Amino acid sequence: MKHSVALVIPYFNGGGGMPAYFPYWLKTCGCNKDINFIIYTDLCLSRMPVPDNVRVVQSSFEEFKLDLQAVMPFPVEIDTPYKLCDCRPLFGAALEDDLRSFEYWGFCDCDLLFGELYPFLFPDNANLDAQRIFSRGHLSIFKNNELNRWAWRDLPDSGCQNWADALTNAGPRCYDEWGGHVGGGMSMKYANNNILIDDRQEFADIRVYSHDFHVVREKYPEYKWETFDANRVFYWCNGQLAGLSVTPERTVRITRYAYCHFQKRQLRINGNPDGAAYVLSPPNHLISLDAPLDLDTTTIHDVKKMYGTHDYLWELRTFSERLGRKIQKVVSL
């Protein structure tokens, strides 16, 4: 019998609607029939093709904050929707009524394209003693029990941030993941209290500011890249996600992933989500294909064609934005 899983996604209007890639994210959700998604939002999604395994709960940001504050020992002011990332460890307790029927609850971002998620979460050799599966903020799931519902409140801090300190700080504190650079989040707190995390890295977390898709491989506190293959693109078709790249030996490498994470990239959409397949290519192109590829016969030429040309303007613009932020930070000191 399969495990029941619900992933929680709060998304509130911060000055605009859903991102342009959201229908593509929804379609990849819909191909994961073994996973349930619960979106809390103040936006109307009635015109979008919402799959049967995606539940939309209409809620204002203020109403959602009240659910969170109801389980806090004392109220904490949450000023912006982005700050809800630090509140994710509280979802199990705050949303218990919506989650009680599931064996696992968790959270995820929507700047993702999912492959077939369930086999990566629960492979044949999965350690079912793990309280948490995956350890990053872009996707994690927890056993639905008292320990995990209240770990943020009841676990000893063990050298990590206290929940109140993390949530009262207006800036992002990475409290939902490792957060070693800001004092330690819940993943570190679990590790320091010897609570088992199944920390397999079956996903492609794309480095934020690199033009090419360098996949981050992080095992805290180490930080490195998966490979330096050239011309990496991501290919999605019929619920499967693969990374395609050219190795130093001039062969095509095909790597299956649970999902890819393209954070902080304003995607340019070419086509529509009804396409037979998608290609995500550097630095920020999401392209619909009319017909699927035959990966068994994919050549270096095919990969390079999907990769396209190097976008030097994007690279210059990104560098300028980063430099501007650094200058502003220095000036404000």
Output the pTM of the full model: 0.94
Residue type, 241: L
Q: Look at domain 5-198 and name its CATH class.
A: alpha beta
Signed CA dihedral, 205, 211, 213, 219: sign only = negative
Q: What distance in Å separates the CA atoms of residue 325 and residue 330, rounded to the nearest whole number?
A: 9
250: helix, strand or coil: coil
CB of 11 within 8 A of CB of 43?
Answer: yes
Return mean pLDDT, the chain: 93
CA 199/CA 107 separation, integer angstroms: 15
Q: Please give the Cα distance from 69 to 308 (Å, whole number).
A: 48
Residue 58: count of CB within 10 angstroms of its CB: 12
For tokens 């199944």, the residue is: 198
Structure tokens at 198: 């199944």
The ranges of the chain annotated as CATH 3.90.550 are 5-198
Question: What pLDDT tens digit does each residue of the chain (333 aa) get?
Answer: 899 999 999 999 865 789 999 999 999 999 999 999 999 999 999 889 999 999 999 999 999 999 999 999 988 889 999 999 999 999 999 999 999 999 999 999 999 999 999 999 999 988 899 999 999 999 999 999 999 999 999 999 999 999 999 999 999 999 999 999 999 999 999 999 999 999 999 999 999 989 999 998 766 555 566 777 899 999 999 999 999 999 999 999 999 999 999 999 999 999 999 999 999 999 999 999 989 999 999 999 999 999 988 888 888 888 788 788 778 777 766
Specify whether the backbone of 308 is left (phi greater than 0), alpha (psi in -120 to 50) or beta.
left
Looking at the DSSP bridge assignments, the partners of residue 240 are 237
